[in-house]
């Protein structure tokens, strides 16, 4: 006895539940003898097609219960068994034929987007690369620009109304004005003496340069000392403690900011080669006006201070004068002696160069 696989037609044992060749379930297949199977098969293709048509018509007309009962009593042909038994595994199910258009669409879906979409994708990628985020500005550069703009407004306000401080300014603006004035004057003097120093021997030129640097440092210390003396008198003797030292320096320089323009103008004249006898007189006049404004500003700050301890401002002014003389003597004692020593050494070196 054998069970014939309705899927592939392989012969299996009578007790087999699945086909040994293709794995199709043989639960509904009846075991038959080999001779019965051969007799049941059609003798020709026409008879096979006729038998299949008859079987299909009988299955459609007879209820399923009768068909199943009769199938147990009658031998089942391979074609009938294939139409009755469904494979348990989805992978073994037969796929119904699809139209040509549907197959073409499924193949295109499996292959991915059409080649015509690639240029658009490349264009999108290029556009995304082109739309890179802008570079962030440098915080240091932006802060410097903001500081320079505010300082320029501070200078303009001081030129328009040098006696009236209408609003608060940055606390370092006063030191900035003093630094610009000192550096401009130092460069002017350096350019004036540059041509003469260049013609001297190397040792003498270096000595003159060191003397010049000491003089610039001495002037800077002297200006800061003057502001400090006025601040101590206003803050300590008169009791006006509204401002810190840096804020006091900013307001002090506000009243004498003309010296910034005088020193820068002198430097420009020297750089452009416009220095002659007449221009030298103009330069000394501007420097004298700047120095006078610097001294007047301290006096103005003293007499416009808000006294809280009833100390007379005239006496405070006299005390300021005495303190300034003491500071000037101290600075000149140490600084000027060093400068004079450098000048004397330079003269000796100059004399040795001529074998004196």
pLDDT of residue 95: 44
Residues in the chain: 356
Q: Tell me which residues of the chain have a pLDDT lower than 50.
A: 36-48, 51, 54-105, 109-110, 112-117, 356
pTM value is 0.57
pLDDT of residue 277: 66
- pLDDT at position 340 is 63
Query: What does the pLDDT read at residue 302?
Result: 93
Residue (of 213, 219, 249) closest to 231 by Cα position: 249
What was the pLDDT predicted at 177? Answer: 94
What integer pLDDT is reported at residue 213 of this predicted model?
Answer: 75
Q: Give the pLDDT score at 1.
A: 75
The pLDDT value recorded for residue 41 is 45
């Amino acid at each position: 006895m054998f069970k014939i696989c309705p899927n592939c037609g392989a012969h299996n044992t009578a007790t087999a539940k699945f086909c040994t060749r293709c794995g199709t379930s043989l639960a509904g297949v009846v075991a038959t003898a080999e001779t019965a199977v051969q007799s049941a098969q059609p003798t020709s293709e026409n008879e096979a097609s006729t038998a299949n048509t008859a079987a299909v018509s009988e299955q459609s007309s007879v209820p399923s219960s009768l068909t199943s009962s009769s199938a147990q009593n009658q031998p089942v042909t391979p074609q009938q068994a294939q139409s009755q038994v469904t494979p348990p595994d989805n992978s073994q199910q037969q796929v119904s034929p699809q139209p040509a258009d549907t197959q073409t669409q499924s193949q295109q879906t499996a292959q991915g987007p059409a080649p015509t979409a690639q240029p658009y994708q490349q264009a999108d990628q290029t556009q995304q690369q082109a739309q890179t985020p802008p570079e962030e500005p440098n915080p240091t550069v932006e802060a410097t620009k903001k500081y320079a703009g505010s300082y320029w407004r501070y200078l303009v306000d001081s030129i328009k109304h040098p006696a009236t401080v209408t609003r608060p300014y940055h606390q370092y603006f006063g030191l900035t004005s003093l630094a610009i004035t000192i550096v401009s004057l130092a460069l002017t003097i350096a350019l004036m003496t540059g041509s003469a120093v260049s013609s001297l021997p190397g040792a003498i030129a270096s000595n003159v340069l060191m003397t010049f640097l000491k003089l610039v440092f001495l002037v800077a210390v002297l200006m800061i000392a003057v502001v400090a003396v006025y601040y101590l008198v206003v803050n300590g003797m008169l009791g006006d403690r509204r401002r810190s030292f840096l804020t006091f320096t900013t307001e002090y320089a506000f009243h004498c900011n003309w010296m910034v323009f005088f020193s820068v103008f002198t430097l420009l004249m020297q750089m452009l080669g416009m220095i002659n006898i007449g221009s030298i007189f103009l330069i000394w006049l501007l420097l004298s006006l700047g120095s006078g404004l610097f001294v007047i500003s301290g006096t103005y700050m003293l007499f416009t201070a808000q006294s809280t301890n009833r100390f007379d401002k005239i006496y405070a002014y006299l005390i300021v004068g005495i303190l300034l003389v003491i500071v000037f003597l101290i600075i000149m004692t140490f600084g000027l002696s060093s400068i004079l020593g450098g000048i004397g050494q330079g003269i000796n070196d100059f004399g040795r160069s001529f074998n004196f």
